[in-house]
Amino acid sequence: MTNLSIDNAFNLEVAAKRVITIKAPEDTLSLRELKNDKYLVIGSATNMIMNEVYEGTIIKVSMNNIDQSSDGITSVGAGLSWDKLIGYCLENKLFGIENLTLIPGLVGAAPVQNIGAYGVEVSSLIESVTCYNFATQQIEILTKAECKFSYRQSIFQAKQYLILSVQFRFNTLFDPDLSYPSLVQFLEQENINSDAISPRQLSSCIQAIRESKLPSPNVTPNVGSIFKNPIVESGSIALDFLEGHRWDASEGQIKLSAARLLETVMPSINIPPSLGFYEKHSLVLINRGGAVFIEIIKLLKDIQDEIRSLYGIELEIEPEILGF
Mark whether 288 is an active-site residue.
no
182 & 302 share domain? no
Name the region of 111 (left: φ>0; alpha: ψ -120 to 50; beta: rest).
alpha
83 & 203 share domain? yes
pTM of the predicted model, to two decimals? 0.79
The predicted structure's pLDDT at residue 2: 46
269 & 301 share domain? yes
CATH number for 35:
3.30.43.10
146 & 257 share domain? no
Per-residue pLDDT of the chain (324 residues; tens, 9 = 90+): 445 678 888 999 888 888 899 999 999 999 998 877 888 888 888 888 988 788 889 999 999 999 999 999 999 999 999 999 999 999 999 999 999 999 988 999 999 999 999 999 999 999 999 999 999 999 999 999 999 999 889 999 988 999 999 999 999 999 999 999 999 999 999 999 999 999 999 999 999 999 988 888 888 999 989 999 888 887 766 666 677 677 777 778 888 889 999 999 999 999 999 999 999 999 999 999 999 999 999 999 999 999 999 989 999 999 988 875
**Domain interval for residue 301:** 222-322
Active-site residue, selected from the candidate residues 44, 154, 225, 282 = 225
Mark whether 225 is an active-site residue.
yes
Rounded CA gap, 282 and 259, in Å? 6
53 & 82 share domain? no
CATH number for 161:
3.30.465.10
139 & 276 share domain? no
Active-site residue, selected from the candidate residues 18, 152, 169, 246 = 152
Mark whether 169 is an active-site residue.
no
Count of structural domains within the chain:
3
Q: What is the largest CA-CA distance in the chain?
A: 60
Q: Would you give the distance in Å from CA 144 to the centre of its chain?
A: 18
52 & 86 share domain? no
The predicted structure's pLDDT at residue 309: 94
Kindly give the residue spans of alpha helices, DSSP state H, lying in the chain: 82-91, 110-113, 144-147, 181-189, 199-213, 258-265, 293-311
192 & 77 share domain? yes
122 & 146 share domain? yes
169 & 287 share domain? no
The predicted structure's pLDDT at residue 252: 82
